[in-house]
Structure 1
Amino acid sequence: MSRILPFLLILMVMGCKKTSVAEADLHCLNGYWEIDEVVFPDGSVKEYGINPSIDFIQLKGNEGYRKKMQPKFDGSYTTSNDTEKFSVTEVSNGFAMHYQNDFSDWEETLVKLDSTSFAVINQEGITYFYKRFEPIKIPK
């Protein structure tokens, strides 16, 4: 019972709260993002310090892609050619990002979005908080 209570509490809060994500804000997803923290259904939190990889998101209309990037100290990035394509659709509680590849498909619902941060919750009730990536600047 003690494991179910935090999950139900999160669902109730999310269900009763009007979404703060507007269609006009979806363009804010474009750019480089790093994960800040993850909140699990049981209420436990995993915080991230420096991330070895970041996400690049490009959204045009309702279609987009997400790509993992590794920033380098000279300001450039290394990456593979792998991308995760997604589509954004309006759902009852805001907007959802639908991903599909050869191996699986999944959905993340946007719960927060502005120019400096965003958060999504997945089908397992795990909430991911992202912040805008700021490259490390080393003085010359």
Structure 2
Amino acid sequence: MKHRAVIKKSHLKQDFCNLLKLRNSVVILLSILVFNCSKTANISTDDINGYWEIEKVTLSNGTEKEYKYNETIDFIKINDSLIGFRKKLKPGINDTYFTSDDAEKLHIKRENDSVNMYYSTLYSEWKETVLEVSAEHLKVITKNKDVYLYKRYTPIKLDIE
């Protein structure tokens, strides 16, 4: 009889630990959902439009690369219908930019509580999912699970007279 009581206590202890683990998992999952939804739920074209430069890339294998200087930056322009383009620019001084006529078509869609950016060129199509956007940062993830963190580009201003 004593042996049975010990087994029951052991099972109760294990069940209690499993319940705690489940509760913690649910809390973490809900936190992630609330955090992600709050970062992308109220995206406007003003949040995304403008000049962006890569600050850091985190590859799917965990490797990180920080960018101190970028030779090219991205210019994104989206209209109220969430259709626009992204163009690569080479910044000059005093708000001058050098570019080609190439641009990537861009269409933004809200899907399953996510904001997706669909790009297309004559040669390729791809999607990036917005993880976070603010006045200063844009964070997206690719289908390969690479995460790109962009910061607003600050133009080079020189006082030339």
Q: Same fold (TM over 0.5)?
A: yes
Which residue number in structure 2 is paired with residue 53 of structure 1? 72
- Equivalent positions of 1:64-103 (< 5 A) are 64-103=84-123
More strand by share: 1
Q: Would the aligned equivalents of 2:53 and 2:70 in 1 still touch at CA under 8 Å?
A: yes
**RMSD across aligned positions (CA):** 2.0
Q: Percent identity of the aligned residues?
A: 34
CA distance in 1, matches of 2:131, 2:93: 32
Which residue number in structure 2 is paired with residue 17 of structure 1? 33
State the Cα deviation string for residues 13-39 of structure 1 (Å, max 9, x = none). Answer: 8xx434211244342111101010000
Which residue number in structure 2 is paired with residue 40 of structure 1? 59
CA distance in 2, matches of 1:23, 1:85: 22
Deviation larger for 29-38 or 73-82: 73-82
Matched, 1:122 2:142: yes
Shift of residue 111 of structure 1? 0.2
State the Cα deviation string for residues 105-130 of structure 1 (Å, max 9, x = none). Answer: 11000000011111100000000000
More helix by share: 2
- Among 67, 71, 83, the alignment partner of 1:63 is 83
Shift of residue 135 of structure 1? 1.3
State the Cα deviation string for residues 33-84 of structure 1 (Å, max 9, x = none). Answer: 1010000111110000111110000011210100001111233111111110
**Which runs of 5 or more structure 1 residues have no equivalent in the other structure?**
1-11
Q: Would the aligned equivalents of 2:131 and 2:140 in 1 still touch at CA under 8 Å?
A: yes
**Which structure exhibits the higher relative contact order, with contacts defined as CA atoms closer than 8 Å and separated by 6 or more residues?**
1
One-letter code of the match for 1:116?
Answer: E
Q: Which runs of 4+ in 1 moved over 3 A?
A: 23-26
With structure 1 as the length reference, what TM-score do the two structures score?
0.83
Q: How many residues align?
A: 128
Q: Would the aligned equivalents of 1:118 and 1:131 in 2 still touch at CA under 8 Å?
A: yes
Which residue number in structure 1 is paired with residue 24 of structure 2? none
**Which runs of 5 or more structure 2 residues have no equivalent in the other structure?**
1-27
Shift of residue 139 of structure 1? 4.1
Q: Could you say which structure has the larger radius of gyration?
A: 2
Matched, 1:106 2:122: no
